[in-house]
Amino acid sequence: STTLKVINGLLRPTGGRVVFQGEDITKIPAHERAARGIESCPEGRRLFPLLTAEGNLRLGAYSPRARASAEETLASVYDLFPRLRERAKVKAGRLSGGEQQMVAIGRGLMSKPRILILDEPSLGIAPKLVSEIFEKIHELRKGGLTVLMVEQNAYQALRIADFGYVMQEGKIVKEGPPDQLLDMEELRKAYFALP
């Protein structure tokens, strides 16, 4: 989560730099990073509980570029998450954890991001919905959207990833293609709860 805050511009790095699409954005403030297409879905979803699901989604279309195509983007979010179309007028605080996560991801998509950063998308979600959420993230990735995800459920995340990093105490200790990481015995035991 700290790494994601540095990427978003919410924390200053103590070393190194943040490069996005070939540009060093280390000293650029968070709102300018968002304008460049870096969008985040924070851990805990951070929805407005008294606002409807659709109201929360529409908040994501804050930039002029996103507002210009908000109706089209909203329709595509509803196509991705049909359940949200049915629950559009329900207050976000009355939605299930999985539905709230769908709203959080949808709100991020409303901004028309170049990269979508997901922080623990499976946290607090019923196991049945975790697979559905990951399948939708996989669809986004297959559709060409760059997704950067931090996830406690490493096995599920690696199943849909192109590349993976294993971090320990803020440092990358392993990296590689998902199948390679899943085959490393010490990682299987330590991180994936696999035999």
DSSP string, 149-183: EE-S-HHHHHHH-SSEEEEETTEEEEEE-HHHHHH
Q: Same domain, yes or no, for 124 and 174?
A: no
Identify the band that residue 193 occupies on the pLDDT scale cut at 50, 70 and 90: low
Q: Same domain, yes or no, for 151 and 67?
A: yes
pLDDT for the residue numbered 102: 94
User: Where does the chain show beta strands of DSSP type E?
Assistant: 19-20, 23-24, 38-41, 115-119, 146-150, 164-168, 171-176
State the Cα–Cα distance between residues 134 and 152, nearest whole angstrom. 13
Q: Same domain, yes or no, for 157 and 173?
A: no
**CB within 8 A of 27, min separation 6: which ones?**
none
Identify the band that residue 168 occupies on the pLDDT scale cut at 50, 70 and 90: confident
- CATH, residue 150: 3.40.50.300
pLDDT at 185 exceeding the cut of 60: yes
SS3 at position 115: strand
Q: What is the pLDDT of residues 17-58, one digit of tens each?
A: 999 999 999 999 999 999 899 999 887 778 999 999 999 999
**CB within 8 A of 5, min separation 6: which ones?**
11
Q: Same domain, yes or no, for 136 and 186?
A: no
User: For the whole model, what pTM was predicted?
Assistant: 0.88
Q: Same domain, yes or no, for 92 and 187?
A: no
Q: Same domain, yes or no, for 42 and 112?
A: yes
Q: What is the pLDDT of residues 52-93, one digit of tens each?
A: 999 999 999 988 888 899 999 999 999 999 999 999 999 999
Q: Same domain, yes or no, for 155 and 170?
A: no
Q: Same domain, yes or no, for 187 and 119?
A: no
Q: How many CA atoms lie within 13 A of 2 on its CB side?
A: 8
pLDDT for the residue numbered 181: 87
Q: Same domain, yes or no, for 157 and 172?
A: no
SS3 at position 146: strand
Domain containing 52 equals 2-162
Q: Same domain, yes or no, for 137 and 174?
A: no
Q: Same domain, yes or no, for 74 and 124?
A: yes
Q: Same domain, yes or no, for 156 and 188?
A: no
- The continuous run of DSSP H or E covering 186 comes out as helix 185-190
**CA separation, residue 57 to residues 52, 53, 89, 99, 125 (Å):** 9, 6, 11, 12, 19
Instruction: Give the pLDDT mean for 169-184.
Output: 85
What is the count of structural domains for the chain? 2
State the Cα–Cα distance between residues 92 and 35, nearest whole angstrom. 26
